[in-house]
Structure 1
Amino acid sequence: MKPDSKDLTALAPFPVVLPSWQHAPATVRAFTTTRHGGVSLGPYGDATGSAGLNLGDHVNDNLAAVKQNRDKLNRQLPSDVIFLSQVHGNIILNAADLVVGNTNIGDAVLSTQAGQVCAVLTADCLPVLFTDVAGTVVAAAHAGWRGLAGGVLQNTVSAMRNKGVQEIIAWLGPAIGPQEFEVGRDVLDAFAAQVPGMQTYFKAKASQDGSEKYLADLYGLARKLLNDIGVSQVAGGERCTVTEVGQFYSYRRDGVSGRMASLIWIAPD
C-alpha cells in the first residue's frame, strides 16, 4: 500500500496547497501541487531558475522530466494518476473507467472507490474539487471559462448526485484572479444565457484599441453556478496563478508554462 496521511503537507516531498474547506469528511484527501519540487527546467522550472514540478506532458517539456515528476507525485498517492485529455468541455468520466494509454477525453472525473485518485491539470483555468459530506463520492473538475459556460460544474454535481449523494461541498483551487483575467465580449456573451446577473462578474476595462474588454471573475462565476444548483458550501478562491509567480505556473502570464495538478481521493482503510 502506498503512503496515506491526513497531514499531506508533512507527507509530500514538495509544496502543496490544501483545500480551505470546513466540514470535509476525515476520509477525504486533497491538494494542489505548485511549481516547486520537480526536475523540469527552463520555463517549466520554478521562478528562481531551479527545477520545477511540471506535470503536463502536452506543453513541450522534456517528457523524461515529466515522467520523473509524475513518478514523484504517484509515490505519494494510493494509486497512480491517470490524467484526462482535457478539451475545455463538460464530459464527466468515472475514474474506474480510465485506461492507461487511452485518450480518456473529459474535463472532470469522479470516484466512489477508496484509494482511486481523481485529478485535473491547470495553469490559470479553475480546478474545482468536490466531495459529499459523508465522503462517499469525490470528483475533480477542470473549469476554464469555456467549461464553466458549458456546464462542466453542473454536470459534475449531477453525476455525483446520480450516485445517491445530496449534500456536496466544493473547493475552488488556484486559478487566474479577477484582477488579471482580461477577456472580450465573446466571453461575457457566453455566460449571458445561463447566469442571471452575470454582469456582476465582469468589470469593463479600457483597451488601447477601443475594443470591448472586461476583467472576468472565474471564482465568482463558479460560486454563482454552484450556488444555483444547491451547492452552498464553496470554499477557496483566494489565490491568483498570474500574480503568485513564485508559487504557480501561469499560461496567461508566461505563454510557455508547466501545469499543476489538483487531486482528490477517498483514503483507503
Structure 2
Amino acid sequence: MAKVLTSEVLAGVPHGFSMREGLESADVLAGAPLVKLKQIHSADVCVMREAGGDVREGDALVTDRPGLLLGIVTADCAPVLFADVEAGVIGAAHAGWKGARAGVLEATLSAMEDLGADRVRISAAIGPAIAQASYEVAEDMRRQFDAGDDRFFAPGSPGHYQFDLPAYVAHRLAAAGTGRIADLALDTYANEAQFHSYRRATHRGQPTQGRQISAVALP
C-alpha cells in the first residue's frame, strides 16, 4: 500500500493525501470506486451519486452516498477535503488561486449543506500545496485580488510578490463559517522527494504531468 497523509480534523473519516506515488482505493477505503472530474480551475461543484458514466467538468465533488471515493488531483494547487460526520456528507475541492478566488470553497460548503450538512459541523483539511516562499507571482495576478487580501502577498523581486495560497484558502474557509480547519503545511515545490510540483518542473524544463491525489469517502 502507498503511504498517504491524513489530518486529525478528519479522524474517523476514510481519507488520504497522496505523495509522489499516488494512491489507490485500497489505501483509503477498500473496494470503493474512485470518482474524479475533469478539473478546469472553476467554482463548479458536482454532486456525485454513483460511479461510472461520463467524466464531468468541475473542481469540487460532494456526496452523501457511502462507498464512493471522491478524488481530486493537484501539483501545487491546494487540495481540500471536507466532512460533516453527523450528517454523513463529504466533499473534495481543487483550490488553485483562480478557483479559490472564484468561490469554489464556498460553493462546496453550500453544496454540502444542500445534502443536509451544517457548515459549523464541517471539518476541512488543506493538503500539500505550494507555500508562500515558493510561490512568486506577478503584478497582473495581484491586481485580480481585493485590497483586503494584501496580507497574503509579501514583497518579492521587483514587480513581483510571494503569494500565500494555503493561508488564503484557510481564510476563505473561515470567513465562510467552516467549523474546523487544518492545514498540513507541506510545500509541494520545496519537498521534491515527497511531492510533484508543476511549477518546479516548469522552472526546470521537466515533464509536468506528475500529480498527487487527495481522496475522501464515507464508509
The answer to whether 1:108 aligns with 2:60 is: yes
Tell me if 1:220 matches 2:167.
yes
User: Which has the larger Rg?
Assistant: 1
Q: CA deviation at 1:95?
A: 1.9
Q: 1:118 aligns with which of 55, 70, 80?
A: 70
**Whole-Å separation in 2 of the counterparts to 1:87 and 1:226:** 20
1:182 aligns with 2:136: yes
Aligned mates of 1:187, 1:226 — CA distance in 2? 21
Distance in 2 between residues matched to 1:250 and 1:154, nearest whole Å: 26
Structure 1's unaligned 5+ residue stretches are 1-12, 37-52, 54-71
Distance 1:134 1:115 in 2: 17
What fraction of aligned residue pairs are identical, expressed as a percent? Answer: 30
Runs of 4+ aligned residues of structure 1 deviating over 4 Å after TM superposition are none
For 2:8 and 2:187, the matched residues in 1 are separated by 15
Supply the distance in 2 between the matched residues of 1:225 and 1:168 (Cα, whole angstroms).
14
Counterpart in the other structure of 1:235 = 182
Which amino acid letter does the alignment assign opposite residue 17 of structure 2?
A: T
Equivalent of 1:204 in 146, 155, 169:
155
Q: 1-side partners of 2:182 and 2:216: how far apart?
A: 15
1:191 and 2:179 matched: no
The one of 76, 91, 115 aligned to 2:44? 91
Q: Does 1:31 align with 2:16?
A: yes
Structure-2-length-normalised TM-score: 0.89
Normalising by structure 1, report the TM-score.
0.73
Change in Cα spacing, 1:74 to 1:237, as seen in structure 2 (3 Å) is closer
User: Unaligned regions of 5+ residues in structure 2, if any?
Assistant: none
The answer for the alignment partner of 1:56 in structure 2 is none
**Alignment root-mean-square deviation, CA:** 1.7
Which whole-Å CA distance do the structure 1 matches of 2:85 and 2:164 have between them? 27
> Do 2:87 and 2:116's aligned partners in 1 also have CA atoms closer than 8 Å?
no
Q: What is the number of equivalent residue pairs in this alignment?
A: 210
Shift of 1:20: 3.5
- Residue 17 of structure 1 corresponds to 5
Distance across 2 between alignment mates of 1:98 and 1:87: 20
Q: Which residue of 2 aligns with 1:160?
A: 112
Confirm or deny: 8 A CA contact 1:148 1:222 kept in the other structure. yes
8 Å contact from structure 1 (residues 127, 141) kept in 2:
yes
The answer (yes or no) to whether the contact 1:131–1:169 under 8 Å persists in 2 is yes
